[in-house]
Amino acid sequence: MGIEVVVEGLTKSFGSQTVWQDVTLTLPPGEVSVMLGPSGTGKTVFLKSVIGLLKPERGRVMVNGVDMVNSPERDVYEARKLFGLMFQDGALFGSMSLFDNIAFPLREHTKKKESEIRRVVMERMDMVGLLGAEGKLPGEISGGMRKRAGLARALVLDPQIILCDEPDSGLDPVRTAYISQLLIDLNAQLDATMLIVTHNIDIASTVPDNMGMLFRRRLVAFGPREVLLTSQEPVVAQFLGGHRAGPIGMSEEKDEATMALEERHGVTGSSSVPRAIEPQLEPTPGLPVRRAVLRRRERVLGLLDTLPPAARHAIESSFDRTGHVVAGQAAPAGRAGGGPS
Amino acid sequence: MTAPPLDPPLDPAPAPQPAAPPVRRPVPGLGALRETGRLFSLAVTTVGAMFRRPFQVRELIEQFWFIASVTILPAALVSIPFGAVIALQVGSLTQQLGAQSFTGGASVLAIIQQASPLIVALLIAGAGGSAICADLGSRKIREELDAMEVMGVSPVQRLVVPRVLAAMFVAVLLNGLVSVVGTLGGYFFNVIMQHGTPGAYLASFSALAQLPDLYISELKALIFGFIAGIVAAYRGLNPRGGPKGVGDAVNQSVVITFLLLFFVNMVLTGIYLQIVPAKGS
Ligand SMILES: Nc1ncnc2c1ncn2[C@@H]1O[C@H](COP(=O)(O)OP(=O)(O)O)[C@@H](O)[C@H]1O
Ligand SMILES: [Mg+2]
């Protein structure tokens, strides 16, 4: 089972520029979470802080008892072996072939024989659809392939926590759909805790169990996917709707004057029409069921009373739809138990 | 283990801005002090990592070969005229003083103790160090070093240690090469051009020079190689702002290394002359 990641009161600045402050959230074990946010809101900085590459000024990130921010470097290095991070640009070693890149963590951290390494690497390359390209150098392949190779490299050590930085950027819609399916399949196979950072609405609406959004130097929201998908919060609605009306402007924030002007000129979103929630992707038939689904159901039922009505509705109806366990039986029990805490 | 739910009142108004921190006027010189501190801390970390397993033998050999291949030929070519210049200068000086018989010893000492380590240092810093700095810098901006750290592999141990060791070893070997070639060059010019006698040249050589002169020469080369490697690695690991930053970093690393090397050379020479008695005194 994946490992829980607890982020508490995290604040990160570069010089006098605060990237975000007081970010508090919990990635539930084994579940898939998505962090949304317009470009430049510090999503990449957040991922790097979680894994301890950047050191926020305040707050902590607890993983398996290690604080990735303040613990001694040796403990942080050890804890990093639990992680797989897929970088935005792949971050492959330019002087090594794809095969050697993907084999790198195995050669560094395991005593596997070369034949065994070959087997694992080929399996992962097959998983991300890169079979046949193992001899190529990173400079010789497309951005999308580099990205998938980066994902394969993040996966070879069977990580408990997988972090993906914009898995979709630079991919066409078809490849993005494949990547979405791949991420869900991975979760079914590995039962790892996953955090995906993206601004792709298709991924956001079909992949995650939980969703959060960074905007204006803070975490606007984090919770079960239905909460954000039904949210009438202007920032969230504008972002998920992908229209111009709302607080997000070209340079991240609009001022009051621009907003008033747009309102007069009739630039409005469709926020009055509630969006239909797309069902979450299922693992490819033949793969094991996602163990996170049941755990999440328990957890969310425990939270249900604290959620806004629209979200509660959406959750209940989704449980009715997908639940083989009838919601009428499971729900009261879950609620009475208060959920796992 | 519950995810905090949406905090209910999501005010659309902009979040209250934290009061801008008062603009602090940087204390002059503090930046340089901080950089120096970081440089030293990298040096300490690198020395520590040299003794940690697994040792990167392959990387060391590759780097050694690379640095040697870009420095050997220029070193040999530079050392011949350098040896000649010193021999001619010392030769004409001793002639004025009426001490021609000591030309050999004096010029060989100058070559082995001063010229050779500095030629080596300039070449290691200029050819080897700049390549190390550019290599690490471009890896840094391509996020390769971050990727390495994320995979639990220390870039210092994996990349910096083999490069610094390679720079040190090459410096020592190169120093031997330059000493020999320079001495031969000096001999040739003294004997052929200034009509010195080969016998006097060699005799004065063994009268003035002693083995510690060679030791200090090699020790200097070793230390210069270390400094050149560390400074190049430090600037490479911390480039500022994109590919342009890497170019600047390479430039700075060479300049900083030169400054440091000449200073360290002065200190080492001073110490050596104090503690090792000159031959015959
Ligand atoms: N190493 C750094 N030094 C200074 N500023 C940085 C650094 N990394 C990121 N930033 C700043 O942090 C902000 C967030 O960047 P990033 O996390 O890359 O955004 P995104 O959400 O698009 O991934 C940007 O304004 C960027 O300029
Ligand atoms: Mg980013």
Concatenated DSSP letters of B15-48: PPPPPPPPPPPPPTTHHHHHHHHHHHHHHHHHHH
Q: Is residue B159 part of a domain?
A: yes
Mean pLDDT for A170-182 is 86
Mean pLDDT for A289-312 is 87
Report the nearest-CA residue for atom 14 of ligand 1: A42
Mean pLDDT for A7-15 is 92
**For residue A331, pLDDT beyond 80:** no
Evaluate the CA torsion angle A192, A311, A41, B24 in order and state its sign: negative
CB-count exposure of residue A72 (10 Å: 0-12, 13-18, 19+):
exposed
Average pLDDT, chain A: 84
Q: Is residue B28 part of a domain?
A: no
Mean pLDDT for A207-227 is 89
Per the structure, the complete domain to which residue B269 belongs is given by 70-275
pLDDT digits (tens, 9 = 90+) for B192-251: 877 777 887 788 877 777 888 888 889 999 999 999 999 999 999 988 877 788 888 888
Mean pLDDT for B43-66 is 90
Banded pLDDT at A4 (limits 50, 70, 90) = very high
Banded pLDDT at B3 (limits 50, 70, 90) = very low
Which of A91, A218, A220 lies at the smallest CB-CB distance from B146?
Answer: A91
pLDDT digits (tens, 9 = 90+) for A78-94: 899 899 999 988 899 99
Cα B145 from Cα B149, distance rounded (Å) = 6
Q: Is residue B152 part of a domain?
A: yes
Cα B3 from Cα B1, distance rounded (Å) = 6
Cα B278 from Cα B281, distance rounded (Å) = 6
Average pLDDT, chain B: 83
**For residue A332, pLDDT beyond 90:** no
**Residues 6+ positions from A26 with CB-CB distance below 8 Å:** A4, A5, A6, A7, B1, B2, B3, B4
Q: Is residue B53 part of a domain?
A: no
pLDDT of residue A83: 92
User: Pick the residue with more confidence: A268 or B67?
Assistant: B67
Q: Cβ contact (<8 Å) for B5 and A24?
A: no
Q: Is residue B241 part of a domain?
A: yes
Give the tokens for residue A138: 């990173």
User: Pick the residue with more confidence: A152 or A336?
Assistant: A152
**Residues of chain A contacting residue B3, judged by C-beta atoms under 8 Å apart:** 25-28, 210, 222-224, 299, 303
Chain-centre distance for alpha carbon B54: 25
Banded pLDDT at A249 (limits 50, 70, 90) = confident
Closest Cα partner for A318 from A255, A250, A229? A229
A319 conformational bin, left if phi > 0, alpha if psi -120 to 50, beta if neither: alpha
Q: Which residues pair with A13 in a beta bridge?
A: A18
Domains observed in chain A:
5-225 (3.40.50.300), 234-264 (no CATH)
Helix (H) or strand (E) holding A115: helix A114-127
Mean pLDDT for B20-32 is 68
Residues enclosing ligand 1, CB less than 6 A? A 14, 19, 37, 39-45
**Complex-level ipTM:** 0.79
pLDDT of residue A92: 93
Q: Is residue B33 part of a domain?
A: no
Q: Which residues pair with A67 in a beta bridge?
A: A62
Query: Is the Cβ–Cβ distance between A277 and A231 less than 8 Å?
Result: no
Q: Cβ contact (<8 Å) for A93 and B144?
A: yes
The total number of structural domains that make up chain B = 1
Query: Is the Cβ–Cβ distance between A59 and A10 less than 8 Å?
Result: yes
At B6, phi and psi to the nearest 5?
Answer: -50, 125
**Residues of chain B contacting residue A81, judged by C-beta atoms under 8 Å apart:** 152
Does the reported pTM lie above 0.90?
A: no
Q: Is residue B59 part of a domain?
A: no
Q: Is residue B13 part of a domain?
A: no
Q: How far apart are the first and last CA of chain A?
A: 17
pLDDT of residue B95: 81
Q: Cβ contact (<8 Å) for A308 and B10?
A: no
**Pairing, β A161-165 against β A83-86:** parallel
**For residue A149, pLDDT beyond 70:** yes
At A62, phi and psi to the nearest 5?
Answer: -95, 125
Cα A341 from Cα A28, distance rounded (Å) = 11
Cα A230 from Cα B189, distance rounded (Å) = 90
Give the tokens for residue B203: 């005799």
**For residue B163, pLDDT beyond 90:** yes
pLDDT of residue B46: 93
Report the nearest-CA residue for atom 3 of ligand 1: A14
Banded pLDDT at B83 (limits 50, 70, 90) = confident
* B9 CB neighbour count, 10 Å cutoff: 5
